[in-house]
Amino acid sequence: MTADTERARADPRFDWQRPSLVLGLIALALHLFANGNYGFFRDELYFIVCGRHPALGYVDQPPLVPLLAAASYWLSGGNLVLFRLLPAVVMAATVALTAEFTRTLGGGRYAQWLAGLSLLLAPYFLLLGVLFTTDLFQALSWLGIVWMLVRLEQTDDRRWWIIIGLTTGFALQAKYAITFFVVALIIGLLTTRERRHFLRPWVYVAALIASLILLPNVLWQQAHHWPFLQLGEAGVNGKNKVLSPLAFLRQQILLVGPLGMIVVLCGLWAGAVRPSFAAARAVVIAWVLLFATFDGLNGKAYYLMPIYPALLALGAPRIETLLRGVRVRALFLGAVVLAGSVTLPLTLPILPVGLLVRYIRALGVMPSSGERLKVGALPQYYADMFGWRQMAAKVAKVYWALPPKERAHAVFFGNNYGEAAAIDVFGRPLGLPPAISGHNNYYLWGPRGHTGRVIIIIGGSTKHYAKLFHSYQVAGFITSRYAMPYETDRPIYVLRGMKVSLEHYWPKVKHYE
Apex 135 CA angle, 132 and 140, nearest 5: 110
Q: What tens digit of pLDDT does each residue of 331-343 get? A: 999 999 999 999 9
What b/e string do you get for 66-77 counting C-beta neighbours within 10 Å, with b at 16 or more? Answer: bbbbbebbeeee
Alpha-carbon span 338 to 124, nearest angstrom:
17
Compute the CA torsion angle 362, 367, 372, 377 (nearest 10 deg): -40
Compute the CA torsion angle 457, 460, 462, 465 (nearest 10 deg): -60
Instruction: Indicate the SS3 state at residue 156.
Output: coil
Question: 498: part of which helix (H) or strand (E)?
Answer: strand 490-498
Instruction: Indicate the SS3 state at residue 496.
Output: strand
Alpha-carbon span 140 to 137, nearest angstrom:
5
Query: How much is the average pLDDT of 274-297?
Result: 93
Question: Looking at the predicted structure, is the pLDDT value of residue 371 above 70?
Answer: no
Q: How many CA atoms lie within 13 A of 101 on its CB side?
A: 33
Question: Looking at the predicted structure, is the pLDDT value of residue 244 above 60?
Answer: yes
**Residue 349 Cα distances to 30, 126, 287, 339, 486, angstroms:** 10, 10, 30, 17, 22
The full set of domain ranges for the chain reads 388-509
Sequential DSSP letters for 457-471: EES--HHHHHHHEEE
Q: What tens digit of pLDDT does each residue of 425-470 get? A: 999 999 999 999 999 999 999 999 999 999 999 999 999 999 999 9
Q: Please check whether residue 421 is in contact with residue 48, taking contact to mean a CB–CB distance below 8 angstroms.
A: yes
Kind of pairing, strands 454-458 and 410-414? parallel
Sequential DSSP letters for 162-174: HHHHHHHHHHHTT
Question: 98: part of which helix (H) or strand (E)?
Answer: helix 85-104
Looking at the chain, the whole-number percentage of residues with pLDDT higher than 70 is: 94
Q: Please check whether residue 52 is in contact with residue 70, taking contact to mean a CB–CB distance below 8 angstroms.
A: yes
Query: How much is the average pLDDT of 104-117?
Result: 96
Closest by alpha carbon to 7, among 103, 116, 95? 103
At residue 78 the predicted structure's pLDDT band, cuts being 50, 70 and 90, is very high
Q: What tens digit of pLDDT does each residue of 179-217 get? A: 999 999 999 999 999 999 999 999 999 999 999 999 999
- Tell whether the torsion through CA atoms of 484, 490, 492 and 498 is positive or negative: negative
pLDDT value, residue 241: 73
At residue 120 the predicted structure's pLDDT band, cuts being 50, 70 and 90, is very high
Q: Please check whether residue 298 is in contact with residue 252, taking contact to mean a CB–CB distance below 8 angstroms.
A: no
At residue 8 the predicted structure's pLDDT band, cuts being 50, 70 and 90, is very low
Alpha-carbon span 27 to 96, nearest angstrom:
9
Q: Provide the edge-to-edge strand list for the sheet that holds 454-458.
A: 436-437, 410-414, 454-458, 490-498, 469-478
Closest by alpha carbon to 282, among 194, 156, 178? 194
Instruction: Indicate the SS3 state at residue 456.
Output: strand
At residue 10 the predicted structure's pLDDT band, cuts being 50, 70 and 90, is very low
pLDDT value, residue 372: 56
Query: What's the chain's average pLDDT?
Result: 92
Q: Please check whether residue 137 is in contact with residue 174, taking contact to mean a CB–CB distance below 8 angstroms.
A: yes
Q: Where is average pLDDT lowest: 74-78, 92-96, 299-303, 313-317?
A: 299-303
At residue 238 the predicted structure's pLDDT band, cuts being 50, 70 and 90, is low
At residue 242 the predicted structure's pLDDT band, cuts being 50, 70 and 90, is confident
At residue 154 the predicted structure's pLDDT band, cuts being 50, 70 and 90, is very high
Question: Looking at the predicted structure, is the pLDDT value of residue 31 above 60?
Answer: yes
Question: Looking at the predicted structure, is the pLDDT value of residue 5 above 60?
Answer: no
